[in-house]
Amino acid sequence: MNTLKNILFVLSTGYVFVYFSEHLFWAHVRADDSLKNWFSAWMVYSLMAYIFLRLVSYFRVKGIWALFLAGAVFGWLAEGVIVQTAYDMLPLSISFTGLAWHALLTVWIGWYAVQKALLSSNIWSSIKLSSLTGLVYGFWATSWWTEPDGRVSSVLEFSAFTFTTTTLAILAYWLANWSSSTPMKWNRWTTIVISGLFALYFLLIAAPASPIAVIILPILFGLSYWGLRQNRASEAEGSLLETLNGRAPLKNYPGLFGLPVTSVLIYALAMSINLTAHANWILYFIATPLGFIVFAVSLYKLQRQKRAGAAS
């Protein structure tokens, strides 16, 4: 039973990552989407979720700065190994989307802030957070209207897509919360095998497709590792896996529907006034430098934290 709960915890975390990193990014059913492709994406994201959770546990991640670095590793696994978009427009592509989307949105908001809101005794916490996220998401979804290869989904199509994926995400949050009551039992060989699969994929697929990855990715992972090592050296045992381990009140889960409700309203309003703003470029110009800034601040904060710990 404990092993089953551990597997469910990883799989449910994987779906939360798919939801924020893929479904909210694309905001519609693409031409090549299928249940098989969605399932494959879920499995790949679950493997990345395992690595992320292992980092959180091993490096004793308890604060947002160390969490951002763990999120950066996840983001660069997705964009620098599985796909090679991290090398498309250097150096800006280092941040968008590995840092600017995966670390900031998927990890900081989707994994951390949402779980904190669900654990709150105040039902408005999940409603406010999800509604604010939905406000941005609804605006972002309109960006596909201006893309040459994009499409204009009807309000009904967008609504069906968003409510369906959000319902699955709510189920994933509930499963993650339920299964987290059993502490993760980390198996050394499981970690080695999963890490080895990513390493092989990088060497056989990613590196031949983008040779510069052999230089860029080790540097990025090396910086993240250095920062996380500073955190482990200055933190006591434990991590956010224990901090976020509590029974979330069932009344808080429906509050997450604030995201689809708000986003559909924004989307419908934008369509009614024929809005053609390039929402993707607006977010790009804000989030790309922000990703770099938060990464640098995280390294600086963790180094200072280690020095303060050594001095005391």
Which residues touch 45 (CB under 8 Å, ≥6 apart)? 14, 15, 17, 18, 21, 22, 78
Compare 1 and 288 and report the one with higher pLDDT: 288
For the cut 90, the answer to whether the pLDDT of residue 181 exceeds it is no
- Residue 278's pLDDT is what? 84
For residues 60-67, average pLDDT: 98
Answer yes or no: is pLDDT of 309 > 80.
no
Share of the chain above pLDDT 70, in %: 98
Distance, in Å, from the CA atom of 289 to the CA atom of 266, rounded to the nearest integer, reads 26
Give me the amino acid identity at 112. Answer: Y
Q: pLDDT tens for residues 112-139? A: 999 999 999 999 999 999 999 999 999 9
Residue 173 pLDDT: 98
- Amino acid 23: pLDDT: 97
What's residue 231's pLDDT? Answer: 97
Backbone angles phi, psi at 246, to 5 degrees: -155, 160
Per-residue model confidence (pLDDT) at position 199: 97
Q: Using the structure block, give the residue that is written with the tokens 């052999």.
A: 214
Residue type, 172: A
User: What span, in angstroms and rounded, lies between the C-alpha atoms of 100 and 301?
Assistant: 19
Whole-number pLDDT of residue 152: 87
Reported residue count of the chain is 312
Amino acid letter, 72: A
Q: Which residue's structure tokens are 């609804």?
A: 138
List Cβ<8 Å contacts ≥24 apart for 89-96.
Answer: 90/212, 90/216, 92/288, 94/216, 94/220, 94/292, 95/287, 95/288, 95/289, 95/291, 95/292, 95/295, 96/284, 96/287, 96/288, 96/291
pLDDT at residue 38 greater than cutoff 80:
yes
Torsion of CA 228, 76, 48, 176, to 10 degrees: 70
pLDDT at 182 over 70: yes
CA-CA distance, 302 to 226, in Å (whole number)? 10
In this model, does residue 312 exceed pLDDT 70? Answer: no
Give the SS3 label for residue 186.
coil
Residue 146 is predicted with a pLDDT of 85
CA distance 106 to 102: 5
Hey, what amino acid is at 99?
L
Average pLDDT, the chain: 95
Mean pLDDT of 98-102: 98
Q: What is the pTM of this model?
A: 0.96
> For residue 11, which of 216, 191, 175 has the smallest C-alpha distance?
175
Is the pLDDT confidence value at 149 over 80?
Answer: no
